Amino acid sequence: MQEGKNSAKGIAYVLASAICFALAGVLIKAIDWSALAVSGGRSVFAATVLYIFLRVQGKRLTLNGPVVAGAVINFVMLQTFVIANKLTTAANAIVLQFTMPAWIILMMWLFFRERPTRSSVVTCAVIFAGIVCFFFDQLSPDGFLGNVVAIVSGIAYAGVFLMKRIPGCDFESAAILSFAACAVCGMPDLVRETDFAPMTVAAVAVLGIVQVGFAYIFLSKGLDLVDPVTAALVSTIEPILNPLLVAAFIGELVGPLSLVGAALVIGSATAYNVHEARSART
C-alpha cells in the first residue's frame, strides 16, 4: 500500500466505486432488455473503458494463469448475480450476495493467515443485520436454487476483492477478460432485442462506462490503499444506496424498517472507517 494502511483516499475510492455500482437499479429499470442482454451490452462499454485506463497507466493487457483465474472469479460473480435475480427475489439475491464481507474475513484467515479484528467482525454482523432489515419485507424462502446461486455470487464477489492478493494477477486485465466473456454470453440475447432507441442505448452506455467501468477503476485504486475487509465493509453501502436511488428517481418508496436498516449499515460502516483511520495514524 502506497499511502499507509486504510488511507482516507483509499476509502474514498472504494466509496466512489460503491456509488457507481449502486446506479444499476435506476439505469436497468430504464432498459427493456433481458438481463443477459443488458449484461452483455454494458460489458462491451466496460471493457473499452477499462482497457483505455490500462493503457493510460502505461500497462498492457496481461494473459497468464493468475489473470485467467481472476477473470473466471469475476465472470462467475457477474453471471451468478444475474442468474440469481431470475431464480429468486431481487431482495434475496442482493442480501445473500452481500454476505461477501464475511466470506472475505474467512478467506483472509484461511488462505492468508490474517486473523480478523474484533471491530471488523462486529461491523460485519451489524451491517448484515442492517441489510436484512432493509429488505425484510421482500425476503422470501422461495427460490431455493436462486438463493444458493446468490450465495455463490457472494463468495465469488469476495474473490474479486482478493484478486490483488493473487501473485501475478493483474486486476484490470482479469476484469477486461471477464467483461469480454460476459459480452460473448450476452450476445445471443442482445441480437434478438428490438428496442434500440437513443435513450435505451444511452442507458446501456452509462451502465457500462460509469456503473461498471468507472466502478472497477475506483475499486482497483482503492484496493491498492485499503485492505480487502475494509473495502468490503465500505462497499456494503451499495445495496442500501441502490434502492434509495430508485425510490428517489423512480418513486418506489421504502418503509420505516428499511430506513432503520440503512442507518445501521451506513452508521456502522462510517464508525468502522473512522476507527481504522485513527488506527492508521497511530
Asked whether residue 3 is assigned to any structural domain, the reply reads no
CA 66 to chain centroid, in Å, comes to 21
pLDDT score for 282: 58
Q: Work out how many domains the chain is built from and give that number.
A: 1
pLDDT score for 3: 46
Closest CA to 181 of 259, 74, 85, 86: 74
What cell does 45 get?
A: 462499454
- Tell me which residue range forms the domain holding 30: 8-276
What cell does 274 get?
A: 473512522
Asked whether residue 198 is assigned to any structural domain, the reply reads yes
Helices marked H in 22-89:
24-28, 35-56, 65-87
What cell does 131 get?
A: 441489510
Q: How would you write the pLDDT of the chain (282 residues) with one tens digit per residue?
A: 444 456 789 989 999 999 999 888 778 878 888 888 988 999 999 999 999 999 999 999 999 999 999 999 999 998 888 888 777 766 677 777 888 888 998 898 888 888 888 888 888 888 888 878 867 766 666 677 887 888 899 999 999 999 999 999 999 999 999 999 999 999 999 999 999 999 999 999 999 999 999 999 999 999 999 989 889 888 888 887 877 777 777 666 667 777 787 788 778 877 876 776 666 565
Half-sphere exposure of 173 toward its Cβ, with a 13 Å CA cutoff?
17
Asked whether residue 2 is assigned to any structural domain, the reply reads no
Closest CA to 202 of 214, 191, 211, 215: 211
Residue 110 and residue 272: Cα distance in Å, rounded?
Answer: 23
pTM of the model: 0.85
pLDDT score for 252: 62
Asked whether residue 282 is assigned to any structural domain, the reply reads no
Asked whether residue 155 is assigned to any structural domain, the reply reads yes
Asked whether residue 197 is assigned to any structural domain, the reply reads yes
pLDDT score for 184: 95
Residue 38 and residue 187: Cα distance in Å, rounded?
Answer: 10
What cell does 209 get?
A: 462506462
Asked whether residue 281 is assigned to any structural domain, the reply reads no
- Can you tell me whether residue 57 is helix, strand or coil? coil
Residue 21 and residue 238: Cα distance in Å, rounded?
Answer: 7
Asked whether residue 1 is assigned to any structural domain, the reply reads no
Q: Which residues of 30-40 are buried (b: 16+ CB within 10 A; e: fewer)?
A: ebebbbbbbbb
Listing DSSP states for 175-222 in one string gives HHHHHHHHHHHHHHHHHH-----HHHHHHHHHIIIIIIIIHHHHHHHH
pLDDT score for 234: 87
**Are the CB atoms for 96 and 151 separated by under 8 Å?**
yes
Residue 182 and residue 237: Cα distance in Å, rounded?
Answer: 25
